[in-house]
Amino acid sequence: MKILFVHQNFPAQFLHLAPEMQRRGHDCIALTDTTNNRSSEIRVVKYRHNSPAPDPQACRLGRNYTQMSDRGVTVARAAMQMREQGYVPDVIFGHSGWGETLFLKEVWPEAKLLVYAEFYYKGRGADVGFDPEFDRPNFDQVIIAQGRTTHLGQALLHADAGLSPTRWQASTYPPILRERIKVIFDGVDTGVMKPDPTATLTLPNGRVLKAGDEVLTFVNRNLEPYRGYHTFMRALPAIMAERPEAQVVIVGGDEVSYGRPAPEGQSWKNIYLDQVKDRLDMSRVHFMGKVPYPTFVSMMQVSRVHAYLTYPFVLSWSMLEAMGAGCMVVGSRTAPVAELIEDGVNGRLVDFFDVEGWSKMITRALARPERFMDLRRAARETIVKGYDLRTVCLPQMVEWVESFGPSA
């Protein structure tokens, strides 16, 4: 069958699915933004989107919908050109987060439309108002959060089905929409992300760390409050004072992926580093920036303790990959993390805001690694049995997509 993948940052969540569907004999094409230069194993068609940002004064609560629907119109017009050239897909699978799928049923009503339903904004019980340091709960936030869901609800209502990576993320959708969602994680390649007692990691200063060394790791796409960077940095002075041989390896950029930007001219990385810098041995703190995937793999394989924190929000792939590598993961006691980590069974959980608790737990795990070997083994077993790319997630996703084909 003909499958059209739609994502402004393709391949993204379709990294493994799209080439697998093509290998299975399906005719696969990706529709993506012209600014996206990532490599692809399937044929790519690009659309050009240059709509001006909406005026917040004029749009008010409609600003987000205006922005997303503008992109949806751009994508629909590109789709119309494809249709006029004779292209009609059997199945469309697109991410609903940027509005790209909103009007595709108007172009191809005969196609089955599937949307990647990653997260549905909520004014209560999720990220909004979670961290009082930045956002104290108020009614305006609740209204704004609901306003941000308009395109997400519309996308799923007009789709034939949705897919979410975790049960908690699916649960953020209202019950009437949640019924339309299948839960399948993207998958962890446990053949790559696995323990390796011979692994090494070369730091920017030339020092080489190896498996078995006292290494504390922390990974985010960008170093920011949504992923607990401020809590982690505030816990570091006590950890490093107690563990004078520990090496701290931090991966992440200086930009913002989620939430509010840092004050003008500053970065969250430096704001929270500056708060504790005079109490840290900076020769043992290694900021790696953004790293290639093989470097990330090696980092997880040499890690003695991996810290992962997140607001109640989208769960990072990196946490599951760390578990797959057999890391001793100390995670925040927030709903997305607790779906995967059972405290004392396959990792440890600490309250997101408990700086002292983070210091004590990480120090314990660094000091006595032999006491946590069962948790490390259980962490990997959790991923191998329930989230493995090749044996669990990809086969489930392939079966789900093929179930919408014309011969199903």
Measured CA distances, 331 to 44, 291, 336 (Å):
38, 22, 10
Q: Which fold does the domain 1-186+388-401 belong to in CATH?
A: Rossmann fold (3.40.50)
The CB density around residue 386, as the number of other CB atoms within 10 Å, is 13
pLDDT of residue 170: 98
Mean pLDDT for all residues in the chain: 95
What is the CB-side half-sphere exposure of residue 252 using CA atoms within 13 A? Answer: 26
326, 306 contact by CB (below 8 A): no
Length of the chain: 408
pLDDT of residue 5: 98
pLDDT digits (tens, 9 = 90+) for 182-198: 999 999 999 999 999 99
Question: What's the sign of the alpha-carbon dihedral 340, 341, 346, 352?
Answer: positive
Q: How far apart are alpha carbons 183 and 189 in whole angstroms?
A: 18
pLDDT digits (tens, 9 = 90+) for 219-239: 999 999 999 999 999 999 999
CATH H-level, domain 198-385: superfamily: Glycogen Phosphorylase B; (3.40.50.2000)
**pLDDT of 408 higher than 70:** no
Segment 334-343 shows an average pLDDT of 98
Residue 17 pLDDT level (bands cut at 50, 70, 90):
very high
pLDDT of residue 55: 75
Mean pLDDT is lowest, of 7-11, 169-173, 193-197, 252-256, for: 252-256
Helices 355-367 + 229-242 axis angle, to 10 = 50
Question: What's the sign of the alpha-carbon dihedral 174, 177, 183, 185?
Answer: negative
CB burial readout 80-91, b (16+ within 10 A) else e: eebeeeeeebbb
pLDDT digits (tens, 9 = 90+) for 63-114: 889 999 999 999 999 999 999 999 999 999 999 999 999 999 999 999 999 9
Where do the CATH 3.40.50.2000 domains begin and end in the chain?
A: 1-186+388-401, 198-385
Mean pLDDT is lowest, of 57-61, 118-122, 130-134, 139-143, for: 57-61
pLDDT digits (tens, 9 = 90+) for 339-377: 999 999 999 999 999 999 999 999 999 999 999 999 999
310, burial (CB in 10 Å: exposed 0-12, middle 13-18, buried 19+)? buried
307, 362 contact by CB (below 8 A): yes
